[in-house]
């Protein structure tokens, strides 16, 4: 099976009727790049940088981060590398960063909320990413954005980092693209405003499902309620994609749903042209994509919007799910 899937790696990544859907990889270390190339991913749609900060006792310095981001940028040789700024807290704690004890860490002090307070950490990381942008097709992505205010504050720090590098004569890509994760219901609801101020959205379905359904993604007691096919999720996705389209903002998806072949017809229905997933999922999704028809999109969407339960959603998607090799 694996060998047969491997034969697909070098086929164009498109539907049976010729619509390109880029299949990118989510990675958290340089080591995973081997599989990115082996499976011929279109690039890295999500580099989870928190793993650079884990399993150690101090924060990584700018030089160390720069070396890693530069290596990713160079190895990708012009393919996209979307580097996400630190997303700690919640399900990703750091031993050496004391965060307050929280009853509800998922709703607490995490990700961009910490970075906007810890200018020292944020600026170090932004400088490292900017410097790497000189060596490849690097983009910056902020996680957990809930408001325009947060986005603008993050961008102010980015401008400060740029201005420092300019003064120091250190090269970086001036026009580096900046995007945000859409993973909070608030971000979905103001996606029209956010889309005016960013170059791209990446939909983080893992957290989006958690927050829309109020189901802690780490809590096994309620795991059966964690349902990406709940009709409320479809509504959230539609709002996001429509907002992005109105403003010409690129949209990709980087949560687990991107690599779930049961959801592929949904992405075709929404006309999403980039999915970023774990490297292990790429060829399975590609196999399914090659047998899916882009021209079925409007019919699938029409069926989905009439669904009122998750079961109806799955039943509507099922005829379009291809698993045969
Ligand atoms: C997400 O929330 O969907 C996502 C991709 O980010 P993470 O899983 O790292 O929170
Ligand atoms: Mg997330």
Q: Residue 283 has which token pair?
A: 């060829």
Residue of 3, 48, 2 whose CA lies nearest to 25 = 48
20 falls in which pLDDT band (50, 70, 90)?
A: very high
CB 256 within 8 A of CB 205: yes
Q: How far is the CA of 69 from the centre of ligand 2 (A)?
A: 20
**143 or 93, higher pLDDT:** 143
CB 270 within 8 A of CB 237: yes
- Torsion angle, alpha carbons of 48, 111, 178, 46, to 10: 20
Of the ligands numbered here, which is closest to the C-alpha atom of 84?
Answer: 1
Residue nearest to atom 3 of ligand 1 (CA): 204
- State phi, psi for 21 to the nearest 5 degrees: -125, 115
Q: Which atom of ligand 1 is least distant from the CA of 204?
A: 3
Residue of 285, 325, 317, 308 whose CA lies nearest to 235 = 308
Residue of 319, 287, 307 whose CA lies nearest to 4 = 287
- Residue 55: the pLDDT is 84
Distance (Å, whole) CA 90 – CA 105:
5
Q: What residues does ligand 1 touch, defined as CB less than 6 Å away?
A: 46, 48, 87, 183, 204-207, 254-255
Least confident of 34-43, 48-57, 147-156, 179-188: 48-57
- Residue 3: the pLDDT is 86
Least confident of 90-99, 113-122, 155-164, 187-196: 90-99
Residue nearest to atom 7 of ligand 1 (CA): 206
User: What DSSP character marks residue 60?
Assistant: P
Q: Residue 302 has which token pair?
A: 């029409």
Distance (Å, whole) CA 63 – CA 135:
15
Q: How far is the CA of 26 from the centre of ligand 1 (A)?
A: 10
Q: Which atom of ligand 1 is least distant from the CA of 255?
A: 3
Q: How far is the CA of 61 from the centre of ligand 1 (A)?
A: 24
Assess whether pLDDT exceeds 80 at residue 23.
Answer: yes
Q: Which atom of ligand 1 is least distant from the CA of 48?
A: 9
* Residue to mutate (ligand 1; options 146, 206, 256, 275; most atoms within 8 A of CB): 206
* Residue to mutate (ligand 1; options 183, 240, 275; most atoms within 8 A of CB): 183
Assess whether pLDDT exceeds 90 at residue 46.
Answer: yes
Distance (Å, whole) CA 180 – CA 193:
13
Which residue matches tokens 């698993």?
323
Q: Which atom of ligand 1 is least distant from the CA of 254?
A: 5
* Residue to mutate (ligand 1; options 27, 207, 274; most atoms within 8 A of CB): 207
Assess whether pLDDT exceeds 80 at residue 244.
Answer: yes
- Residue 172: the pLDDT is 98
Distance (Å, whole) CA 62 – CA 64:
6
- Residue 101: the pLDDT is 86
Q: Which atom of ligand 1 is least distant from the CA of 202?
A: 5
For residue range 164-206, what is the model confidence (pLDDT) as tens digits? 999 999 999 999 999 999 999 999 999 999 999 999 999 999 9
Assess whether pLDDT exceeds 80 at residue 91.
Answer: no
What value does the mean pLDDT take over residues 50-54? 92
């Amino acid at each position: 099976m694996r060998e047969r899937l491997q034969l697909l790696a070098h086929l164009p990544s498109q539907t049976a009727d010729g619509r390109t859907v880029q299949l990118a990889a989510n990675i958290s270390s340089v080591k995973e790049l081997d599989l990115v190339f082996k499976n011929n991913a279109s690039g890295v749609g999500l580099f989870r940088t928190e793993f650079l900060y884990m399993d150690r006792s101090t924060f990584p310095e700018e030089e160390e981060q720069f070396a890693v981001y530069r290596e990713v940028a160079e190895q990708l040789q012009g393919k996209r590398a979307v580097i996400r700024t630190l997303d700690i807290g919640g399900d990703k704690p750091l031993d050496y960063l004391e965060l307050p004890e929280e009853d509800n860490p998922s709703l607490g002090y995490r990700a961009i909320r910490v970075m906007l307070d810890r200018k020292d950490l944020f600026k170090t990381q932004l400088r490292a990413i900017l410097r790497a942008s000189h060596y490849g097709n690097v983009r910056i992505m902020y996680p957990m954005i809930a408001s325009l205010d947060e986005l603008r504050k993050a961008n102010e720090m980015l401008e400060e980092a740029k201005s420092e590098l300019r003064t120091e004569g250190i090269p970086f890509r001036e026009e580096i693209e900046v995007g945000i994760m859409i993973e909070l219901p608030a971000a979905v609801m103001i996606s029209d405003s956010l889309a005016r101020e960013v170059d791209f959205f990446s939909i983080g379905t893992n957290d989006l499902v958690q927050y829309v359904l109020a189901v802690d993604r780490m809590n096994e007691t309620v795991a059966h309620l964690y349902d990406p096919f709940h009709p409320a999720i479809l509504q959230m996705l539609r709002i996001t994609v429509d907002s992005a389209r109105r403003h010409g903002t690129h949209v990709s998806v980087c949560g687990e749903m991107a690599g779930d072949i049961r959801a592929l017809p949904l992405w075709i229905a929404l006309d999403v042209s980039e999915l970023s997933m774990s490297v292990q999922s790429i060829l399975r999704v590609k196999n399914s994509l090659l047998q899916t028809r882009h021209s079925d999109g409007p019919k699938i969407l029409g069926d989905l919007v009439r669904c009122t339960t998750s079961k109806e959603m799955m039943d509507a998607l099922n005829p379009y799910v291809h698993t045969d090799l």
